[in-house]
Amino acid sequence: MLGVAKYHPAQRGAKILVSIVESARRAVREPKEKLSQRVAREIMAEIRSRNWPVGELLGTEAELLARFRVSRATLGEAIRQVERNGAAVMRRGTRGGLTITAPATTTIVRTISAYLELSDVALEEQFDAWRIIEVQAVSLATRKTDDDGIAHLRALIQQIDKAESEYEYLSRCMGVRVAIADQIPNPALALFMRVLVRIMSRDVISRRLPPNWAHYRRIRDQLNEIVEAIASGDSALAQGLTRLSLSLRQEHIETRGQRRTPDPSQRDESNNAPTTLAEGIAHRLRDDIAAMGWPEGESLGSERELLLRYGVSRWVLRQALRTLETHAIVRPKRGQGGGLLVGRPNPAYAVDLAVDYLHFAQFTLEDVAEVWGTLLESAVQLAGQRTDADFTKLLAAVAQEESSRTTPEGRRAAAEFYSEIGNLSGNRVIAVFIAILARFISRHRINADLKRLGAIMKQQHRKLAQHLVEGQPANARHTMRDYVELMRPYYTSSIVVWRAPPRA
């Protein structure tokens, strides 16, 4: 928590709030970036600036070594990170080199879910987000699913009982949920649903619940009822059945077993790949940090101490630490008395990668309008229910937006405002989803009357923040709903031009 005074409703001067922004920025100290991370970031920036041309060559190994002036080991680590992003691959041979590739959905899903899993997201947060996403998915499916789509969903239901194991049975049930989201189609809903399916599946597997076939068949029956409600076009029934199904599933998991560190012998729901030893060590480290109370800045020990503690090879440990460092869960301390320090989880890496993917998948602002409003309204409602909420950063974002003299600054301030709404919800899954859409919107230039649009945004943001500060959650949600409707025409009818992020 930053050392700033809590905002009082009477202090509405923009100058005071701008000073809060500046002091907050000075208070935050980012850990020093590794050279390999900088090179990887610059490679990703070049791919974006070229508008992600799949198949193009970025350079041979020799050319890249000369361009970045780094060692082969540093370049190799940077390339491995870019490959993990699904952005490029190093091809060998006489015509080889670093070649741009199409980002795979599984790569993005794995990155987002890894951040959420390693941030120790609670089961309740997962289910709250799942209700928002799946209820909206079934509601839209009742209007947009055609006869072929219904036939496909019914066929998937029939396949569930042919499963030969408990794991396969539950996997097929999860597959029906994803297929419902795919019927829309809406890239954001489909992506977020896959993230939820992955983290939920891995959470359930890690709890190692005893088989309960009566419960599993009830899940199957409920999914069948949801599909039939979609087929009949009954949105209210489909939504009600979805809420009931998720509530029963949550109750069953909460009353049976505690979450454990992932077992490398278990298989991954989303890509049918086994959990690696490095992933298991990353989760053990996370569990140990959580048991310590997540003391940011406290030492976890030297590499030698960690090797002895976890009993793995240096390669496995470094793979585990690389994953944790990517999401700022740990950070290295170099020099005398160095070692590994507890960090503060940061979704920036996952958010940036997801935004790149959505752009590549030709995700539009019209798609945003379908998911955007629901997430923001839910976040505002949750924020208004929290008696411990600190609105300092939200108000600082409002002040920064009002004081901005240029359009890019205003867009960045708006993105910060939305992200703070997500953070205030207290639900880290919802916060990440909102941050992804906020960043995606901020990278577009809407072909509209920007002065009028800016005035609408600032007025609604001020009103919303005031309602939350004064403890009026109902008014805040109503204002957010009005704001989303005011913005919808800009998202659905304006010409939108992609704005690549500035190169470092």
* CATH value at residue 464: 1.20.120.530
Whole-prediction pTM value? 0.82
CA–CA dist 107, 73 (Å, integer)? 24
Q: Which residues in 417-502 belong to E strands, given as ranges?
A: 444-446, 496-498
What is the reported pLDDT for 3? 33
> In this structure, are 336 and 408 located in the same domain?
no
> In this structure, are 229 and 176 located in the same domain?
yes
CA–CA dist 114, 117 (Å, integer)? 5
> In this structure, are 230 and 313 located in the same domain?
no
What is the reported pLDDT for 71? 93
Q: What angle is formed at CA 108 by the lines to CA 106 and CA 110, rounded to 5 degrees?
A: 65
Let me know if residue 233 belongs to a domain: yes
What is the reported pLDDT for 342? 94
CA–CA dist 101, 87 (Å, integer)? 5
- Tell which of 254, 287, 310 closes a domain: 254
- Let me know: does 31 contact 343? Beta carbons within 8 Å: yes
> In this structure, are 383 and 334 located in the same domain?
no
Let me know if residue 272 belongs to a domain: no
What is the reported pLDDT for 262? 56
Let me know if residue 85 belongs to a domain: yes
What is the reported pLDDT for 497? 52
Q: The domain containing residue 164 runs over which residues?
A: 107-254
Q: Could you say which DSSP state residue 266 is in?
A: S
Let me know if residue 4 belongs to a domain: no
What is the reported pLDDT for 275? 56
The total number of structural domains in the chain stands at 4
> In this structure, are 373 and 431 located in the same domain?
yes
- Tell which of 221, 254, 287 closes a domain: 254
> In this structure, are 71 and 209 located in the same domain?
no
CA–CA dist 279, 344 (Å, integer)? 19
> In this structure, are 482 and 385 located in the same domain?
yes
Cβ count within 10 A of residue 478: 15
From the centroid of its chain, how far is CA 339? 29
Q: Which of 37, 128, 145, 27 is nearest to 81 (CA)?
A: 37
Let me know if residue 263 belongs to a domain: no
What is the reported pLDDT for 27? 37
Rg value, the chain, Cα: 23
Any residues with CB less than 8 A from the CB of 391 and at least 6 apart, and which?
Answer: 7, 424, 465, 468, 469
Instruction: Work out whether the CA dihedral 458, 478, 385, 415 comes out positive or negative.
Output: negative
CA dist list (Å): 289 to 120, 160, 399, 429, 466: 10, 39, 36, 20, 37
> In this structure, are 216 and 302 located in the same domain?
no
What is the reported pLDDT for 20? 37
From the centroid of its chain, how far is CA 131? 16
> In this structure, are 90 and 119 located in the same domain?
no
What is the reported pLDDT for 427? 95
> In this structure, are 145 and 240 located in the same domain?
yes
- pLDDT, tens only, 36-95: 888 998 998 888 888 788 899 999 999 999 999 999 999 998 998 888 878 899 998 777
Cis peptide before 185 (omega within 30 of 0): yes
Residues of the chain with pLDDT under 70: 1-32, 205-208, 256-275, 335-337, 402-411, 492-504
> In this structure, are 411 and 303 located in the same domain?
no
Residue 305, domain CATH: 1.10.10.10
Let me know if residue 247 belongs to a domain: yes
> In this structure, are 286 and 409 located in the same domain?
no
Starting from the edge strand earliest in sequence, which strands make up the sheet with 97-100, in order? Answer: 57-59, 97-100, 88-91
Let me know if residue 227 belongs to a domain: yes
If phi > 0 it is left, if psi is from -120 to 50 it is alpha, else beta; for residue 448 that is beta
Let me know if residue 357 belongs to a domain: no
- Tell which of 196, 222, 254 closes a domain: 254
What is the reported pLDDT for 261? 56
